[in-house]
Amino acid sequence: MNKKETLKQQILQLSREYYNEVHRDSKVFEPGKSFVNYGGRFFDAEELVNLIDSSLDFWLTAGPWAHKFEKRFADWLGVKYCSLTNSGSSANLLAFMTLTSPLLGERRIKKGDEVITVACGFPTTVTPIIQYGAIPVFVDVTIPEYNIDITQLETAYSDKTKAVMIAHSLGNPFDLQSVKDFCDRHHLWLVEDNCDALGSEYTINGETRKTGTIGHIGTSSFYPPHHMTMGEGGAVYTNDPLLNKITNSFRDWGRDCWCVGGVDNTCKYRFSKQFGELPVGYDHKYVYSHLGYNLKLTDMQAAIGCAQLDKLDSIVLARRKNFQTLLDGLNDTEGLILPEPQKNSNPSWFGFLISVKEDAGFTRNELSEYLESKKIQTRNLFAGNLLKHPAFNEMRQNGDGYRVVGDLKGTDFILNNTFWIGVYPGMTEEMLQYMISTIKEFVTSRKA
């Protein structure tokens, strides 16, 4: 072993020791004194080792670790192509913008075309549609699944509809069979925002597949509370080689060239072809076929992701177990609506949703505030109803920026009555039982 390799191994061994000294959790949980976070980083020494290993190479942009992750993650999902990006929000942006490419011919989404989605969720499932100039068509959601009401799809459809872009809410898959059948019937694109549902499974046409791989494009987020983390980061994945090529073009400045970083002339015609009105032989590495971005991530982030991938199966199992513990413990609690998995699905839960019935004798906010006072972290279901937020004021006044199907009654119920608590793998049995007993304690006190 040469000196360089010897030094590296010494550094990596020290990083393991540093993890054990600084990051290994040795604190005892104290009910009412220790925080029960809804989510957080879940890692061990291997993430730190990979991070430091990649930093020693000083490859600051996407490189060998990124390519390794993309291949392994695609294999884990069961798809052909994966493109890493710097966040889940960027992944949604890339997924949508991919469908606007002129390379898609008549199927491309143009300004003024419509995309069916829901108002109950996270903003960045919808904002790419609006920012491009397409028209979101909002339909309602059902409770206790908290996903798109598939009975409204045909009403939402028009001759301008080009796509459906929706999320699997908090890990619970939406009715993929019905949504995919609808998209196939009308020749529409289907984008699965899979950011909260990594590892969820759905059985469609007798075949069980991971969510995010059933539509034309899927997206993931690797923000710390999600199923796996790179700190920041996301991914776009597909089985379609053309969609993959377009995604990478939009991600990488809009360039036409598909060479990976540090590699030239993969296409073998770098100086021999003519593009647009450029002179013949113009360097293909600087030909731009889309109005793109730079949304890549760093190799150091990807190195963390590679270590996280080794844990992903166990992370999914832990989330399912923690969810079931909460469900069993809170079953039949008066005044509460508990979540139900979508038929034909096996969710990889992001959190445990609770809705307070309108006649419960207490409100969502009162229960949430009580839990927070007991150091149990809570979160609303993201935007609740996007259309009620200040960002939509101007669109509402103009009256032509979006379309709504029905009265969004379920969405508004969630806006006022729903919150969630965590199920992430860092939860211990003591934490789960503390959450159960604290919720029951509050409900009992209000019924007295």
Helix (H) or strand (E) holding 242: helix 241-251
Smallest CA-to-CA distance from 83 within 229, 231, 258, 203 is with 258
- Rounded to whole angstroms, the Cα distance separating 75 from 66 reads 14
- In a 3-state reduction of DSSP, which class is residue 419? strand
Instruction: Report in angstroms the alpha-carbon separations of 151 from 154, 155, 158, 182, 216.
Output: 7, 8, 15, 11, 22
**Given 23, 168, 216, 226, the catalytic residue:** 226
Known catalytic residue at 227 = no
- Rounded to whole angstroms, the Cα distance separating 239 from 242 reads 9
- In a 3-state reduction of DSSP, which class is residue 238? strand
Smallest CA-to-CA distance from 303 within 47, 75, 87 is with 47
Structure tokens at 23: 């990051």
Tokens 């191994």 correspond to what residue? 9
188-219 in b/e form (b: 16+ CB < 10 A) is: bbbbbbbbbbbbbbbebeeeebbbbbbbbbbb
- Rounded to whole angstroms, the Cα distance separating 100 from 105 reads 9
The catalytic residue positions are 226
